[in-house]
Amino acid sequence: MSTVKEVFKNTERALADAGIEDPEFEAGVLLEDIGGMAPAEVQLSPESEILPEKAAALAAAAKRRSEGYPLQYIIGSWDFYGRRFSCGEGVLIPRPETELLCECVIKYFAKRPAPRIVDLCSGTGCIAITLAKEIAGAKVTAVELYDAAFSYLERNNAAFGGCVSAVQGDALESFGEFDCVVSNPPYVAAAEMPTLQKEVLKEPETALFGGEDGLDFYRAIAKNWYGHISSGGFITFEIGETQGRAVEAILKENGYYGVSVWEDYSGLDRIVTAMKQ
């Protein structure tokens, strides 16, 4: 039988050889999830033995990861804003930049309790569920069109006590009245699609491709939902790093005011916020 230390080193080496950026971190995630070992165990009991079937499962996972399959799909979940969300093929993986989108909404409603919020193109539901949990009295509706993604949304919603209303439908078909529209829509432009990392290309194209210039969803959502936002309401999008000015213009053309573009942790334009009079 191999030891924990040997298996960790083998996993790390396999990932490093495949050019994975942070092989130590990813080996730790795989050991914890597939090997069932807490990170401390690798440090504290490096000589303890690992069952052959676990070692084999880890080797298989490392191979899959080395071939460019996303780590998050291998382990079937990922953390977002301090909570763990199920994810897998057919749904966009929760990303740390998207936490900033949630923060903008949480700040806006810090002194305005019980907002009605709609999250469009909801995917795993990580945005909707975070807002439902973090904003006092929030009533959150999550809209997702595609079957595979919608089933993750429903599963995550159930895991968090059914805190949002999940609606399967087209984000461009507006309904109801809300104090906030929030969305991380597909925003990758046609020319950029082939340049995406191989891991990202394993994610659904329907969650990435935003039309020729990547802006189709911003145009449609800004226009179609304007009449469904209350006076003093808020709209916010995650955007691609080159899209700040264009999305600002779209929001202004559609009658919103107070448009601001915010940067992510890497100093790239990532979030646009605006209000309705």
Binding site for ligand GLN (CB under 6 A): 95, 184, 186-188, 200, 208
Q: How far is the CB of 186 from ligand GLN (least distance, A)?
A: 5
Which of residues 8 and 237 has its CB atom nearest to ligand GLN in the complex? 237
Q: How far is the CB of 185 from ligand GLN (least distance, A)?
A: 6
The letter for the amino acid at 94 is P
Residue 267: CB minimum distance to ligand GLN, A: 16
**CA atoms 276, 217, 260, 250: torsion sign:** negative
Report residue 172 as tokens. 């461009």
Q: Which is nearer to ligand GLN, 75 or 200 (CB)?
A: 200
CB of 238 to ligand GLN, least distance (A): 6
Please state, in angstroms and rounded to a whole number, the distance separating the CA atoms of residues 255 and 246: 15
**Which residues contact residue 174 at a Cβ distance below 8 angstroms, ignoring those fewer than 6 apart?**
224, 225, 227, 228
Q: Supply the minimum distance, in Å, between the C-beta of residue 71 and ligand GLN.
A: 14
Question: In terms of C-beta density within 10 A (0-12 exposed, 13-18 middle, 19 or more buried), how is residue 33 classed?
Answer: middle
What is d(CA 86, CA 155) in angstroms, rounded to the nearest whole number? Answer: 8
Pairwise CA distance, residues 100 & 264, whole Å? 7
Q: Which is nearer to ligand GLN, 57 or 200 (CB)?
A: 200
* Spatial separation of the C-alpha atoms in residues 240 and 209, rounded to whole Å: 11
Rg of the chain over Cα atoms, rounded to whole angstroms, equals 21
Kindly list the distances between the CA atom of residue 216 and the CA atoms of 91, 177, 268, in Å, as whole numbers in the listed order. 20, 23, 21
CB 125 → ligand GLN: shortest distance, Å? 15
Contact 116, 179 (CB under 8 A): yes
Select 186 or 233, whichever has its Cβ closest to ligand GLN: 186
CB of 133 to ligand GLN, least distance (A): 22
* Residue placing its CB nearer to ligand GLN in the complex, 186 or 244: 186
| Cβ atoms of residues 152 and 129 within 8 Å | no
Nearer to ligand GLN, 37 or 93 (CB): 93
Of 61 and 239, the one with the shorter C-beta distance to ligand GLN is 239
Residue nearest to ligand GLN according to CB distances in the complex: 187
Closest CA to 257 of 273, 246, 269: 273
